[in-house]
Amino acid sequence: MQNKPINSKIGVLNFSILIRHMIQKFEKLCEIQLGIVNKIVEQCPALNEPIRDLSKVKEYMPYIERLFYLVFPTIFWEQHELAILVPGSMIPIHASPKFREAFLDKNGQFDLAPTFDPKKFTRNRISRMYMHILEKAYGIKTHATSEDHIIFPCLDKTTGLERYYFMDVDMRFVEVISKQKLKPLNDEDIKEIKRNITDPERLKNKLAIDQFEISGITIIRAADVTKTHVLSMIQDDLIDKDNISTQDGFNRLQKRLRNYFQRPDLIASLSCFYDDQILMLNMGCDLSNSCIFTSSRQIARKNFKNTPFEEAIHKKEIYVYSDVLKYESLLFSQKAMESANIRSFMICPLLYRDECIGILNLADPEIGIFGTQEMIKVEAIRPLFAMAINRAMEDLDNEVQGIIKEKCTAVHPSVEWKFRKSTLKYISNLQSDDQAELDPIIFKKVYPLYGIADVRGSTNARNNAIQKDLDDHLKYARNVIEQVLKEKDMLIFNQLLERIDEERYRIQQSLASGDELSIVKFIQQNIESVFSHVRHFSPKIARAVDVYESHIDKQLGTVYKLRKEFEESILLLNQRLANFLDNEQNSIQKAFPHFYERHRTDGVDYLIYIGKSMNEKGIFHDIYVNNLHLWQLHIACGMAWITQHLKPELSVTLDTAHLILVQNSPLSIRFRYDEKQFDVDGAYDIRHEIIKSRIDKAVVKGTGERLTQPQNIAIVYSMQEEENEMLQHIRYLQKQEFLKKDIEFLELEELPGVTGLKALRVGIVLNSTLLSKWMEDYWAV
């Protein structure tokens, strides 16, 4: 692909700056080289002047080449991609053989790749020119260095694929010359120029670049970074789930993979495991009815039995075949491979948390393509595809669950130091960069602890209270209409009575989500609206209206008796539990500082993170995690005791069930500035968040029984070592007579996106002497 050179109106070729620099160096170091430079200038004095007519360069080229023999040693010049350009342009003047081979066409101009953006390139170069103008002409520091780094795409003339080069643009031998009297800039002008330095169009009025001449030469050194750059692009692409779930997106990914492996005919396919099925997410070619597996995008996993795919999945290893036609084990897919012109083949199991969740297959028409280097490259991209598969499976699982339902049925003190450091650095950076941003707040390898004290049956209690209050509201309204009928026998009032009875019957049977608003609206619009008129019919009707209004909450406009009792009861219980939890947290923080976050809903839940990275001094030991696990059991007993002893004060009897989630595998958390809260950082850690959000609905396997039960503690875990540790804590508290002797070992039904969970459940001795003494002392305070 040939392209016109990108010219610059302000760049002028001039070797004099380089020549002066060389003379200064050689005067002190080497007389021979100094003599050569002087002789070159003597023979071609034009090199010491600006060269505005580039057609003369061909005439001067022998002298330019001799000059650059002194700048770059012959071996260096022949082995590296080097070039000299007119400043602020893409006009090559002199280039090394490897640079010409990689970047230039037969006419000596840049052979640009299709993805090269000339407008963006020109804009960036002009922005860099502005930085040099400010520094060279005005002495204003803009943090522009003598080197400018660019990732440059070009086409490999052999494969036709894009390669990417890291360009070091050396502008040491460039000077800025003002064509007219230098325009003065005040502080406001400078600030505006700095703010808009990446958008040259906005700077024309403040500082016209045409009034300056950029004179000299630009030296470019190129380094092939195809592998790392394409790897970064693959990682960016995989963040978008559409790139593995849509054909266009996957074709884009396949192009990246072809660049990554430098194989123009490489074919990729991606599959994942869902229950006992294998789902073909996407393929990089259209095999029509000759798909490697089947014409369907979904097959039973048993079809993998006794195939290399099953073996690769079982061993979690990459399998490579130099020629698929020579392997009998691949006969089941040989026809499809022949149809797709596939000879070399690679099976790459994708592992997430050491579990195989899918396969990335790579194929090529040539024999013996995949060797050690290709396997090393694959190892670098396997985790990226595994994370993308995991996200896709979570989305798929949510979608499946949705269809089934539709068709069938403030900064914590323990981490304040990190925020302080980031804020201080931010304030410092603002002095030199008014677009500075706060550094990310990330804590790596921290241990999560989670617990819930859930008010059992709160949803039913709330709904019952709403149901009874609405029924009473309708009953009081009916009394008024009955009294009106005794005075005025009108058909319309009989109709209203019938409608009231229909509404009462309906909500007595079941309560829908919108009934609370719809019934109040019905009464206000159809019944209360006539009160001001009918109350004058007789004193009895007026008294009936007064009785009705006495039962109505003036702020809410409805009966609010049982709901108020429930809300007051839940509020009082929540307050007592939250206060107790916060008070105990203040004590346990003294043992070792850790992040703590508590929420109140119908009950309380809390989240704790602890680890070495959260401690400013970097001190940590696993014993602090063990101590917190024991503490969780201890405070669960205390919260159960509070619930039991608070019942006489509650208008509505409430009970709590307690749950603890144990995970001894560390994870990373990041502070989300937009949401002002911590969240797990990375796909590998999202499992804990999923479990945490769904575990309160867990059910004991094969029984339909809720895991959480009043006056019991349920402990959810997945690893044997977690079970062993919690059993030690339970036995200690059993000896203290906080917990009952019987321990239940339970398996749980699978939750959406979560499998393999187990649980322990143990009862709480609410009348324990030691528990009562501890809690009575607390209660007294």
pLDDT in tens, 289-345: 333 333 336 676 777 788 888 889 889 999 999 888 887 766 556 666 666 678 899
Q: Which long-range contacts (CB under 8 A, 24 or more apart) does 516-523 make?
A: 516/466, 516/470, 519/470, 519/473, 519/474, 520/470, 520/473, 520/557, 520/558, 523/473, 523/474, 523/477, 523/558
Q: What is the DSSP string of 215-231?
A: EE-EEEEEEE-HHHHHH
Q: How confident is the model at residue 389 (pLDDT cuts 50, 70, 90)?
A: confident
pLDDT, position 696: 82
pLDDT, position 657: 94
Position 448 pLDDT exceeds 80: yes
Residue of 434, 444, 396 lying closest to 613 (CA atoms): 444
DSSP E strands in 86-155: the ranges are: 92-95, 147-155
pLDDT, position 332: 53
Position 740 pLDDT exceeds 70: yes
Residues 569-573 have a mean pLDDT of: 93
Residues 708-724 have a mean pLDDT of: 94
Residues 48-72 have a mean pLDDT of: 90
List the single range of 245-249, 255-259, 522-526 with lowest mean pLDDT. Answer: 245-249
pLDDT digits (tens, 9 = 90+) for 500-551: 999 899 888 888 878 888 888 988 888 888 888 888 888 898 998 999 999 9
pLDDT, position 75: 82
pLDDT, position 298: 62
pLDDT, position 706: 92
Which residues neighbour 101 within 8 Å (Cβ) at sequence distance 6 or greater? 157
Position 15 pLDDT exceeds 50: yes
First-to-last C-alpha distance (Å) of the chain: 83
Distances from the Cα of 282 to the Cα of 214, 243, 257, 346, 394, angstroms: 52, 9, 14, 16, 17
Which residues neighbour 692 within 8 Å (Cβ) at sequence distance 6 or greater? 448, 450, 607, 661
The rounded Cα 523 to chain-centroid distance in angstroms is: 49
Return the domain boundaries, the chain: 11-221, 228-407, 415-445, 458-561, 565-780
Q: How confident is the model at residue 438 (pLDDT cuts 50, 70, 90)?
A: confident
Q: How confident is the model at residue 396 (pLDDT cuts 50, 70, 90)?
A: low
Q: How confident is the model at residue 6 (pLDDT cuts 50, 70, 90)?
A: very low
The class (CATH top level) of 228-407 is alpha beta
Q: How confident is the model at residue 577 (pLDDT cuts 50, 70, 90)?
A: very high
Residues 239-266 have a mean pLDDT of: 85
Position 31 pLDDT exceeds 50: yes
Position 431 pLDDT exceeds 60: no
Residue of 717, 709, 665, 671 lying closest to 691 (CA atoms): 717
Q: Is the dihedral of CA 465, 469, 474, 475 positive or negative?
A: positive
Please answer whether residues 63 and 48 qualify as being in contact, where contact means their C-beta atoms are separated by less than 8 angstroms. no
Phi, psi of 270 (to 5 degrees): -135, 130
Position 4 pLDDT exceeds 60: no
Residues 638-645 have a mean pLDDT of: 94
pLDDT, position 534: 87
Position 193 pLDDT exceeds 70: yes
pLDDT, position 473: 92
Element (H, E) at 76: helix 74-79
Alpha helix positions (H), 343-457? 372-407, 416-430
pLDDT digits (tens, 9 = 90+) for 450-462: 999 999 888 888 8
Position 493 pLDDT exceeds 50: yes
pLDDT, position 93: 92
pLDDT digits (tens, 9 = 90+) for 140-181: 776 544 344 678 888 888 888 888 898 888 888 988 888 888
Q: Please tell me the distance from the alpha carbon of residue 481 to that of residue 540, in angstroms, as a whole number.
A: 12
Alpha helix positions (H), 208-269? 226-239, 242-245, 247-261
Please answer whether residues 758 and 717 qualify as being in contact, where contact means their C-beta atoms are separated by less than 8 angstroms. yes
Residues 225-245 have a mean pLDDT of: 83
pLDDT, position 237: 85
Residue of 5, 261, 262, 6 lying closest to 155 (CA atoms): 262
List the single range of 242-246, 260-264, 482-486, 627-631 with lowest mean pLDDT. Answer: 242-246
Residues 402-414 have a mean pLDDT of: 51
Which residues neighbour 327 within 8 Å (Cβ) at sequence distance 6 or greater? 308, 321
List the single range of 56-60, 492-496, 511-515 with lowest mean pLDDT. Answer: 511-515
Position 8 pLDDT exceeds 50: no
pLDDT, position 147: 42
Per the structure block, which two tokens stand in for 704?
Answer: 């339909």
Q: Between these two residues, 728 and 185, which has the higher pLDDT value? A: 728
Q: How confident is the model at residue 5 (pLDDT cuts 50, 70, 90)?
A: very low
Per the structure block, which two tokens stand in for 297?
Answer: 């995008």
Q: How confident is the model at residue 427 (pLDDT cuts 50, 70, 90)?
A: low
Please answer whether residues 40 and 10 qualify as being in contact, where contact means their C-beta atoms are separated by less than 8 angstroms. no
pLDDT, position 130: 79
Residue type, 467: Q
Position 772 pLDDT exceeds 80: yes
Q: Is the dihedral of CA 59, 65, 66, 71 positive or negative?
A: positive
Average pLDDT, the chain: 84
Which residues neighbour 437 within 8 Å (Cβ) at sequence distance 6 or greater? 426
List the single range of 118-132, 191-205, 273-287 with lowest mean pLDDT. Answer: 273-287
Position 245 pLDDT exceeds 80: no
